[in-house]
Amino acid sequence: MSLKEELLKRMSDGVVDMEEDEVAEAAQEFIDSGFPAFEGIMNGLIDGMNRTSVLFEEEEYFVTDVLLCSDAMYAGLNVLKPYLPEESGDNKKKAVIGVVEGDTHDIGKNLVKIMMETAGFQMIDLGRDVPLQKFVDTAKEEQADLVCLSTLMTTTMGGMKTVIELLKDAGIRDQVKVMVGGGPVSQSFAAKIGADGYSQNAVEAVRLAKDLLQTAS
């Protein structure tokens, strides 16, 4: 195994094993050895997160594990990011994400954000308990491609429908795809309120987002 391969493996394994310091160290060695940061991100850190996603889908890993894996990934990202070449023309797809008004449960939303960032989306995170109009205003200002709505409470599900109506009122419903998720939300609810898609978990959300925007995976 070459030094480069070895360092990539250390980063990827470090993410899967939730070893923040180990990932940051391997990332620093990777840069010090003169290897390109982009490759370290894609074949080291993202590779680790992809393996984490598989473990999550197989119910080997749970939310608490994924949160720590993503911390390890971000630790590596902080080291590598400054060495990335200036991006020529931002062609990342933009998504606005948040938990709808009345609800402050944001674990699911955070996971989706992490997974989508990992998959190359630019995420604009509005946080939780977000006033419904704010989703629309932000989508408009940022010319977002996607609006991702989350709630864990039955009592706030109705807000998702309102956001879709507000998007229509603002005349931008055709310009964005709307995806919904969270405990009480289902495929049939998504269809009923006129959302473009529903996903059951964070890994599925990435697939759905790619499908909706038909980007190559």
Partner 1 sequence: MLTPKERLHTVLEGNKADRPPCICPGGMMNMITEELMQTVRIYLPEAHTDAQKMAGLAKAVYEQGCFENYGVPFCMTIEAEEMGAKVNLGSRIYEPHVTGYVIDTVSDYGKLPEIDLSKGRVKVVLDAIRILKEEGDVPVVGNLTGPVSTASSVMEPVVFYKEMRKKNQETHAYMEFITNQLIKFGTAQIEAGADVIAISDPSATGEILGPGFFREFTIKYINRLIDIFREKGAQTIVHICGNMNPVYEEVNGIRSDALSFDSVVPMKEARTKLEGRVLMGNVSTYALEFAEPDKVRTLAENCVKNGSDIISPACGLGMKSPLANIRAILQAVAKEEEYASH
Binding site for partner 1 (CB under 8 A): 18, 59, 61-65, 67-68, 71, 101-107, 110, 129, 152-158, 183-184, 186, 188-189, 192
Beta carbon of residue 86, minimum distance to partner 1 (angstroms, whole number)? 32
Report the alpha-carbon distance of residue 114 to residue 97 in Å, rounded. Answer: 11
Beta carbon nearer to partner 1, 40 or 197: 197
Report the alpha-carbon distance of residue 170 to residue 192 in Å, rounded. Answer: 20
Beta carbon of residue 152, minimum distance to partner 1 (angstroms, whole number)? 7
Distances (CA, A) of 80 to 50, 163, 179, 203: 18, 37, 31, 24
Beta carbon nearer to partner 1, 40 or 181: 181
Report the alpha-carbon distance of residue 121 to residue 111 in Å, rounded. Answer: 13
Beta carbon nearer to partner 1, 104 or 175: 104
Beta carbon of residue 129, minimum distance to partner 1 (angstroms, whole number)? 7
Beta carbon of residue 120, minimum distance to partner 1 (angstroms, whole number)? 23
User: Three-class SS of residue 147?
Assistant: strand
What are the phi and psi torsion angles at 59 (to 5°)? 60, 30
Beta carbon of residue 79, minimum distance to partner 1 (angstroms, whole number)? 20
Beta carbon nearer to partner 1, 105 or 207: 105
Beta carbon nearer to partner 1, 14 or 40: 14
| Contact call for residues 112 and 84 (beta carbons, < 8 A) | no
| Contact call for residues 84 and 39 (beta carbons, < 8 A) | no
Beta carbon of residue 22, minimum distance to partner 1 (angstroms, whole number)? 14
Report the alpha-carbon distance of residue 177 to residue 146 in Å, rounded. Answer: 5
Beta carbon nearer to partner 1, 2 or 64: 64
Residues belonging to the chain: 217
